[in-house]
Chain A
Amino acid sequence: EAGVAQSPRYKIIEKRQSVAFWCNPISGHATLYWYQQILGQGPKLLIQFQNNGVVDDSQLPKDRFSAERLKGVDSTLKIQPAKLEDSAVYLCASSFGRTSGPYNEQFFGPGTRLTVL
């Protein structure tokens, strides 16, 4: 079974530029998550989709971050404009079921490491 795919793996941009990350979840997984992992911290949930609808985006900085999951499969996370504090690893995860419960394991991709100069 193929895992969660993410691209690019690394990205370096200057502040105020825009950037986009792509995620392809495991086939058949209804729920997709984007996490931000700042150096020295654990991953923090940014947004959760169920199929192509947003379940939770309470921790997404909506003035500069946006995400979409067209057709309920692939997803794109965008930052525009980027700030220095956005430097982090952006992780995508997917799960078969609808919620973050104990029976619904999340499978993580390798992440995209973003450096904002």
Chain B
Amino acid sequence: AQSVTQPDIHITVSEGASLELRCNYSYGATPYLFWYVQSPGQGLQLLLKYFSGDTLVQGIKGFEAEFKRSQSSFNLRKPSVHWSDAAEYFCAVIYGNKLVFGAGTILRVKS
């Protein structure tokens, strides 16, 4: 079955440390991949997307993600986390005509 997996439910990092959030998908063709962020009480905001070309994608707020076809992964990274990055992060894939989300990873930032 087609699916999006985010293996980590919670991640805690220290402010200023680097971050990597994992995402794996199952899909036969080249996928259209997204990362969204959801802050408490707010809607989902698109961080970045990949659909072709360079496999390293730059997004807003200093985030980047790398598409690795061999690993069916699209991991999100940030070199230095700020306290304001604390939120829930969702990986998503276009399947057919639908945007299908992973279960999310909650990021906590400790000072």
Task: Answer whether residue A25 sits at the interface, using C-beta atoms and an 8 A cutoff.
Answer: no
A56 and B43 contact, CB distance less than 8 A = no
CB B94 to nearest CB in A, in angstroms, measures 6
Q: Which A residues are in CB contact (< 8 Å) with B46? A: 105-106
Determine if B98 is an interface residue (Cβ-Cβ < 8 Å): yes
Cα distance A108–B46 in the bound complex, in angstroms: 9
Q: Which residues of A contact B32 (CB under 8 A)?
A: 101-102
CB proximity to A under 8 Å, residues B65-111? 90, 92, 94, 97-104
**How many Å lie between the Cα of A105 and that of B47 in the bound state?**
11
Q: Measured between C-beta atoms, what is the minimum distance from A30 to chain B in Å? A: 14
Judge whether A108 and B98 touch: CB under 8 Å: no
Given the interface contacts A42-B92, A55-B97, A100-B98, does A110 sit within 8 Å of B103 by beta carbon? no
Among B41, B43, B102, max chain A CB count under 10 A is at: B43
> Helix, strand, loop or mixed for chain A's interface?
loop
The answer to whether B42 has its CB under 8 Å from any CB of chain A is: yes
A42 contacts across to B, CB distance below 8 A:
4, 90, 92, 100-104
- Contact partner, B42, options A45, A101, A106, A110, Cβ 8 Å: A110
Q: Which residues of A contact B97 (CB under 8 A)?
A: 48, 55-56, 99-100
- Which A residues lie at the B interface, using CB under 8 A? 3-4, 40-45, 48, 55-56, 91, 93, 99-102, 105-111
Question: Can you list 14 A-B contacts (CB < 8 A)?
Answer: A40-B103, A40-B104, A43-B90, A45-B98, A45-B99, A45-B100, A48-B97, A56-B98, A93-B44, A100-B94, A102-B49, A105-B49, A108-B45, A111-B43
11 other contacts beyond A42-B90, A91-B43, A105-B46, with CB at 8 A cut-off? A41-B103, A48-B97, A56-B97, A91-B44, A93-B43, A102-B51, A102-B94, A107-B43, A108-B43, A110-B41, A111-B43
